[in-house]
Structure 1
Amino acid sequence: MMSSDNNHRSEYRLVDSITVFIETSASPNGEPPPVKVTISETVDVSANGLQVKLDYELPAGSLLPLCVQCSKPTATFNLTGEVMWVRQCDVAGIFLVGFRILENDQTDLQGWKEQVSQLLSKA
């Protein structure tokens, strides 16, 4: 299913559930932070962003490593996402988090864009 409603997006998005591993960490007392990986599912995706549900808030502006695992067709993409917004969901304790996918040399952004394009063409 495709959508281009009025959520300030200029591109179509695919309403689909895709597994996302989000690497977060906290640094108490200035010590090296332990790595924390949260597994989530997308609410929707586009070539330049994705939306997930989490049971905790993330600070807007955070730059986080994301690993997106698609099942049809099978593919894995290592990306960097910037938290653009966080909204409380209708369900208590659940938050919607919007990520903008950033380009850098160590990510699979081009492959991700091609994957989303293929998925949108089939929707």
Structure 2
Amino acid sequence: MTDDNYQFGTSRSLPKGKDKREDYRLTARARAWIQRESPEPGSDQSELARESTLECQIRDISARGLSLVSAEPLTVNSLLMAEVSLGHQAKAFALMVEVMWCRQTDEGNLIGIQVLASDDTDYLDWMDAVATALSEG
């Protein structure tokens, strides 16, 4: 299996946790980069992006959300920008997300985020990519 193959179920190397998602989920080796702070107008956005971006491993994926494993916790109910790379896609998806829950585990922080429909994001492309991956599964 290559890194961009999808499989159903939960990877043994990632922490397990209960979730309340209604959608069918994919498990994939994918990455998300969460921007914890928004840059101020006129500021050096590239420097802030390096300092405030948190790289996370994706535990599982559905059309409406992601389960992430992170070294640092995120604040519940916060609205954040994220970039999500699915491996088989040519570019990462820019998405607006809401942190729904965050639990500390032995392996790190397990975080549930909901993908929000928002202008100037790749929301529709994201929905299409997840639907395609589900149909191939």
**TM-score w.r.t. structure 2 length?**
0.75
Aligned with residue 95 of structure 1, among 109, 126, 129 = 109
**TM-score w.r.t. structure 1 length?**
0.82
Aligned-pair Cα RMSD in Å: 1.7
CA distance in structure 2 between the partners assigned to 1:88 and 1:68 by the alignment = 22
Task: Look up the match of 1:31.
Answer: none
1:108 equivalent to 2:122? Answer: yes
1:62 equivalent to 2:74? Answer: no
User: Unaligned regions of 5+ residues in structure 2, if any?
Assistant: 1-6, 10-17, 39-47
Task: Please identify which structure carries the higher strand content.
Answer: 1
Q: CA deviation at 1:74?
A: 2.6
After the TM superposition, which segments of 4 or more aligned residues of structure 1 sit over 4 Å from their partners? none
CA shift digits 1:40-81 (9 cap, x unpaired):
220001001001111111110010100111221333211011
Aligned with residue 38 of structure 1, among 54, 62, 66 = 54
Identity of matched residues, %: 30
Aligned with residue 13 of structure 1, among 25, 28, 41 = 25
User: Unaligned regions of 5+ residues in structure 1, if any?
Assistant: 27-33
Q: CA deviation at 1:2?
A: 2.9
Task: Look up the match of 2:44.
Answer: none
CA contact (8 A) 1:69 1:76 kept: yes
CA distance in structure 2 between the partners assigned to 1:49 and 1:113 by the alignment = 10
Query: Residue 79 of structure 1 aligns to which amino acid in structure 2?
Result: L
CA shift digits 1:14-40 (9 cap, x unpaired):
0112111110139xxxxxxx4411122
